[in-house]
Amino acid sequence: MYPITYITDCHDANARARLSTRIGALFGQSPTIVAADGPDPESFAALTLLDCLIATSLLGEDGHPTITLLNIAPRDGVWPNGVPFCFFWFGKHLIASTFNARALSLVRRELGIDRVEVTDIREVVAAAGFDANDTAKIAGTQFRSLWYLPLLAKWVADGRAVPATETAVPEVLDAEPVVSVVDNFGNCKLDRALDLAPGDTLSVAQRNDDGSVTIVDVTCYPHLTAVPRNAPGIVPGSSGAGFTELVIRGGSAAEAFGLQPGDPLIEPVTEQVA
Q: Which domains does the chain have, with CATH numbers?
A: 4-168 (3.40.50.10790), 179-257 (2.40.30.90)
pLDDT at 251 over 70: yes
| Calpha distance 255→265 (Å, rounded) | 14
Q: String of b and e for 221-232 (b: at least 16 CB within 10 Å)?
A: beebeebeeeeb
**Residue type at 93 in one-letter notation:** H
Q: String of b and e for 10-19 (b: at least 16 CB within 10 Å)?
A: bbeeebbeeb
CB atoms within 10 A of CB 268: 8
Q: What are phi and psi of 266, to 5 degrees?
A: -120, 125
* 8-state DSSP, 170: P
Q: What is the mean pLDDT of residues 10-20?
A: 95
Closest by CA to 244, choosing from 255, 232, 228, is 232
| Calpha distance 73→63 (Å, rounded) | 31
- Higher-confidence residue: 78 or 3? 3
pLDDT at 273 over 50: no
pLDDT in tens, 38-63: 899 999 999 999 999 999 999 999 99
Q: What integer pLDDT is reported at residue 76 of this predicted model?
A: 58
**Residue 269 confidence class, pLDDT cut points 50, 70, 90:** very low
Q: What is the DSSP string of 6-38?
A: EEES--SHHHHHHHHHHHHHHHSSPPEEEE--S
Q: What is the mean pLDDT of residues 72-86?
A: 73
Global confidence as pTM: 0.92
